[in-house]
Amino acid sequence: MEALRIKSKANVTSLGAVLLGQHVACDAYDENRPIRVVTHAHADHMVGLGKSLKNGEVTIMTPATKDMIDALKGPRFLSRGPVKTLDYGEEFTYGDETLTLHYADHILGTAQALVEDKEQTRILYTSDFKYSRTTRVDADILVMEATYGDPIRVRPFGMMTEGILISLVEQGLKRGPVYVFGYHGKLQKMMQILYEAKIKTPFIVPDKIHQVSKICEKHGMKLGKHLLPYDDEEAQSMLTQNEPSVVFYHAYSRKRVDGEALKIRASGWEFRKPCRKVGTNEYVVALSDHSDFNELLQYVERCNPKMVITDGHRSEAARIFAKEVEKRLKIPARAAPA
């Protein structure tokens, strides 16, 4: 009975909505849920957001995530419906359930969502997270991401990658501009790494990345003193004269880059080495803002829940990870949707 009752308190739908308790749907639209939570501003976590704004009672996110969405989708997007921002740790009560958001180390603004129901069952969704700095939250039911949930997905080199990124950029700057490719959030983390390493050359960024970077600075990240929009005259003249600068492009950018220039791509899917040469002047560095297999398992261990549900909508390895949790930690686990 107990197991059955617990089972009905969390799920992941075929559309990718993570259902917590009776009222909350995270990261995708669900027509039966009045409360929508957006855990962070990555596209696969903003599924059906327009519908949630139109049909839901309230859409909840951290203030930083709201700013990120305003930058990515324009400030009018969120004004289509009722939005409430919730700081980490602040409570939101609906009926007999209480929702709180907790810090997750991923992109700026990312939150884990915790629902506590009238039976004091704590139902937690981790969203995407990198283990080391993420707040550990106790829970009875743990819904979690499992991007790197396969036991072969481990990165034994840890922080080494940051040092390699720094020295690659330093080498490249001796010859002229260096081009760095990555996703929103990860790009800003790389800016921060380079800035903390005292790389003083200007950072040149296209408009959207500039806006996202400004939001990151507003919320406390330090990205460097010389953030130049790509279309700026100064940036253009630096690039035509081949002066040292670091140019940041989105991973999907189709902008042409001079074949002689050093290109660095950040990828979470590198496990053998912290850095791999993929072309004459091209490298992939293993920088991820997700936990690897061991870190995912560590989080489950720390949390010590009665049951684990892995998000099979967003992670191919969800089924594998659920099996590993059962085998190694003896905690009932399954992937959802089934």
Contact residues for Zn ion (CB under 5 A)? 42, 128
**CB of residue 106 to Zn ion, shortest distance in Å:** 5
47: left (phi over 0), alpha (psi -120 to 50) or beta: beta
**Can you say whether the dihedral through the CA atoms of 194, 198, 204, 210 is positive or negative?**
positive
- Is 183 or 293 the residue whose CB approaches Zn ion more closely? 183
Which pair of tokens denotes residue 38? 């957006």
**CB of residue 107 to Zn ion, shortest distance in Å:** 6
Q: Pick from 231, 226, 169, 172: which is nearest to 197 by CA?
A: 169
Q: Residue 103's Cα: distance from chain center in Å?
A: 12
- Is 65 or 121 the residue whose CB approaches Zn ion more closely? 65
**CB of residue 52 to Zn ion, shortest distance in Å:** 18
**CB of residue 251 to Zn ion, shortest distance in Å:** 13
**CB of residue 279 to Zn ion, shortest distance in Å:** 27
- Is 9 or 184 the residue whose CB approaches Zn ion more closely? 184
- Is 22 or 134 the residue whose CB approaches Zn ion more closely? 134
- Is 33 or 106 the residue whose CB approaches Zn ion more closely? 106
**CB of residue 290 to Zn ion, shortest distance in Å:** 8
- Is 128 or 140 the residue whose CB approaches Zn ion more closely? 128
Query: 232 Cβ partners below 8 Å, 6+ apart?
Result: none
Would you tell me how many other CB atoms lie within 10 Å of the CB of residue 213? 25
Where is 19: in which H helix or E strand?
strand 18-20
Q: What is the DSSP string of 124-164?
A: EE--S-BTTTSPP---SEEEE--TT-STT---TTTTHHHHH
For residues 80-103, one letter each, b for 16 or more C-beta atoms within 10 angstroms of the residue's C-beta and e for the rest, the string is ebebebbeeeeebebeebbbbbbb
